[in-house]
Amino acid sequence: MEVTPVIIFGILVFLAHLFAGIFSRTKIPDVLLLFIIGILLGPLSGIATPAHFGSVGPVFTTITLVIILFESGIGLPIDSLRKAMRRTLLLTSLNFFATMVVVGVTIWLSTDLEPKRAFMLSAIVGGTSPAVVIPLIKQLKMQDESRTILILESGIGDVLCIVFALAFLEAQKLVNFFALA
């Protein structure tokens, strides 16, 4: 008997709700448990591959991220937003660039990647994901300003990841262009 994608999807939705309940009682992040299931179903067992998601996968993930960011933006108090902006920019800058440098140097020294590719990869993973941070923040009891800082940091960090990854990509294209000339 073949397991249909609908059954697998239903099981994953059920597990997501179950893990959210576990998180509310134990503070073990539901995202971590879903991530582990993803690793088990994907790379370790080969049950799910990127080809299974086809062209729908990127669209679905984009829509999901947009909904998460939109919904979290609606809940941000304006006065808390004003107070948190300066500290958010400082936190985001320090977090992103420190992570990018440490990860870039580590990848460069521990693999055979050249520095520009190592730092492109570090730019991609240099920020905290709103898809992870925002659901965690909603479950934790925090002050408004701290919550606002973390939500903004994850959103701005995502933008920095995209901008710097694309900058490294364009720099690589430019180097390749002049190497051909």
Average pLDDT over residues 88-116: 94
> If you search the block for the tokens 């994907």, which residue do you land on?
42
- Of 81 and 103, the structure prediction assigns the larger pLDDT to 103
Confidence check: pLDDT of 180 > 70: no
| Backbone CA torsion sign across 25, 30, 32, 36 | positive
Q: Residue 11: how many CB atoms within 10 A of its CB?
A: 12
Name the residue ranges covered by the structural domains of the chain.
1-54, 77-180
- Of 110 and 128, the structure prediction assigns the larger pLDDT to 110
pLDDT at res. 137: 86
Average pLDDT over residues 67-75: 82
Least confident interval from 42-56, 109-123, 147-161: 42-56
Confidence check: pLDDT of 176 > 80: no
Average pLDDT over residues 150-171: 91
Closest by alpha carbon to 32, among 41, 23, 24, 44? 23
Least confident interval from 98-102, 106-110, 164-168: 164-168
